[in-house]
Amino acid sequence: MDFLRPASWEEALAAKAEHPTAVPIAGGTDVMVEINFDHRRPEYLMDLNRIGDLTEWEVGEDTVRLGASVPYTRIMENLDTELPGLALASHTVASPQIRNRGGVGGNLGTASPAGDAHPALLAAGAEVEVESVRGARRIPIDEFYTGVKRNALAPDELIRAVHVKKADGPQQFSKVGTRNAMVIAVCAFGLALHPETRTVRTGIGSAAPTPVRAKAAEEFLNAALEEGGFWDNGKIITPSVAKQFADLCSAACNPIDDVRGTASYRRHAVGVMARRTLTWTWESYRGTRRAAKGAA
């Protein structure tokens, strides 16, 4: 095993081009466990901690450019207004110690369906900025996950940042685990309301081979909200609409039975989380509307 210590992003890209099998390591949450437990013996280990750029973020007009290694703790503490869904998801990641070191780049690189950031990124809308010596590109988050623990990265590419849409409405994230802290998701659900476009987006974790959106559920809800004039009248969403949305979210799952939970439970739980997060976000939207009216 060789240990590569690029001091800059350019050096890292050059090293990855020269050694496409090099395994990048930043927070170490996944890679070190694989090494400690003898599941993996990479030829090259490439430390990304020396590249300061990766731990920085920039709040732009419409998006936040989030460095791949910005620790979850920073996201929780500094970006809960701009990225509320991701901040909530970050808070559920493993333990404080791991949140202090792990970042979204690791979740994306591993591309485990159980990664906590995925549902929030899917719901918010995001693009993954990847680069190689051949050049940079942005991969829409919907196209990023290609299979179980597989993503759209080419062997010579590294994840530099994620461009996440700034919240234009309430967002929620909810995750089921069989422990009240420090637990891998049995399944997870992210929901974002986008009042500007009058749309909702969802993200489901750990209930299909990849993180997925419940697109039929989104379409149903978009139509139902539009039809009922809900975005304007701010009425309470009827239980039947919420139930239909929840059922469609359950239907979007393609889960397996494993040691963490049954497929049947996962479908069920995603439905419950979908209904609850819809209630929470919609209540919040109505509250904001009322507050805005009151101010006006």
Partner 1 sequence: MRVNFTVNGRPQEADDVWEGESLLYVLRERLGLPGSKNACEQGECGSCTVRLDGVPVCSCLVAAGQAQGREVVTVEGLADFAKQRACGTGSCGGTSLDEAKRWEADGTDSQTGEGTELAPIQQAFIDAGAVQCGFCTPGLLVAADEMLERNPNPTDADIREALSGNLCRCTGYEKIMDAVRLAAARQSEGV
Partner 2 sequence: MAANGAPTKITQGSQTKGGIGESTLRPDGTLKVTGEFAYSSDMWHEDMLWGQILRSTVAHAEIVSIDTGEALAMPGVYAVMTYDDLPTDVRNYGLEIQDTPVLAHGKVRHHGEPVAIVAADHPETARRAAAKIKVEYRELPVITDEASATAPDAILVHENRDDHHIGHVPHPNIVHRQPIVRGNADEAAKRADVIVKGEYYFGMQDQAFLGPESGLAVPAEDGGVDLYIATQWLHSDLRQIAPVLGLPEDKVRMTLSGVGGAFGGREDLSMQIHACLLALRTGKPVKIVYNRFESFFGHVHRHPAKLHYEHGATKDGKLTHMKCRIVLDGGAYASASPAVVGNASSLSVGPYVIDDVDIEAIALYSNNPPCGAMRGFGAVQACFAYEAQMDKLAKKLGMDPVEFRQLNAMEQGTIMPTGQPVDSPAPVAELLRRVKAMPMPPERQWESSEGADVRQLPGGLSNTTHGEGVVRGVGYAVGIKNVGFSEGFDDYSTAKVRMEVINGEPVATVHTAMAEVGQGGVTVHAQIARTELGVTQVTIHPADTQVGSAGSTSASRQTYVTGGAVKNACELVREKVLEIGRRKFGSYHPAWATAELLLEGGKVVTDGGEVLSDLVDVLGDEAVEVEEEWRHRPTEAFDLRTGQGNGHVQYSFAAHRAVVEVDTELGLVKVIELACAQDVGKALNPLSVIGQIQGGTIQGMGIAVMEEIVVDPRTAKVRNPSFTDYLLPTILDTPTIPVDVLELADEHAPYGLRGIGEAPTLSSTPAVLAAIRNATGLALDRTPVRPEHLTGTA
Residue 175 site contact among partner 1, partner 2, none (CB < 5 to 8 Å, cut-off depends on kind): partner 2
Q: Which one, of 190, 211, 40, lies nearest residue 112 by Cα?
A: 211
Residue 5 site contact among partner 2, partner 1, none (CB < 5 to 8 Å, cut-off depends on kind): partner 1
Nearer to partner 2, 26 or 185 (CB): 185
Q: How far apart are the first and last CA of the chain?
A: 64
3-state secondary structure 31-74: HHHHHHCCCCCCCEEEECCCCHHHHCEEECCCEEEEECCCEHHH
Torsion angles phi and psi, residue 290, rounded to 5: -60, -45
Residue 226 site contact among partner 1, partner 2, none (CB < 5 to 8 Å, cut-off depends on kind): none
- According to CB under 8 A, which one of 17, 59, 94, 272 is a site residue for partner 1? 94
Q: Which stretch binds partner 1 (CB under 8 A): 152-160, 180-188, 252-260, 284-292?
A: 180-188
Residue 193 site contact among partner 2, partner 1, none (CB < 5 to 8 Å, cut-off depends on kind): none
Nearer to partner 1, 185 or 191 (CB): 185
Cβ-based neighbour number of residue 35 at 10 Å:
17
Residue 98 site contact among partner 2, partner 1, none (CB < 5 to 8 Å, cut-off depends on kind): partner 1
Q: In the chain, what is the greatest distance between 2 CA atoms, to the nearest angstrom? A: 64
Least distance (Å) from partner 1 to the CB of residue 118?
Answer: 19
CA distances from 63 to 57, 71, 180 (A): 11, 18, 32
Q: Could you say whether residue 25 binds partner 1 (CB under 8 A)?
A: yes
Q: Which residues bind partner 2 (CB under 8 A)?
A: 36-38, 88, 91-92, 172-186, 259-262, 264-265, 267-269, 272-273, 276, 279-280
Nearer to partner 1, 5 or 290 (CB): 5
- The neighbouring-strand residues paired with 191 are 172, 202
Cα–Cα dist 277/283, whole Å: 10
Q: Which stretch binds partner 1 (CB under 8 A): 25-33, 53-61, 146-154, 255-263?
A: 25-33
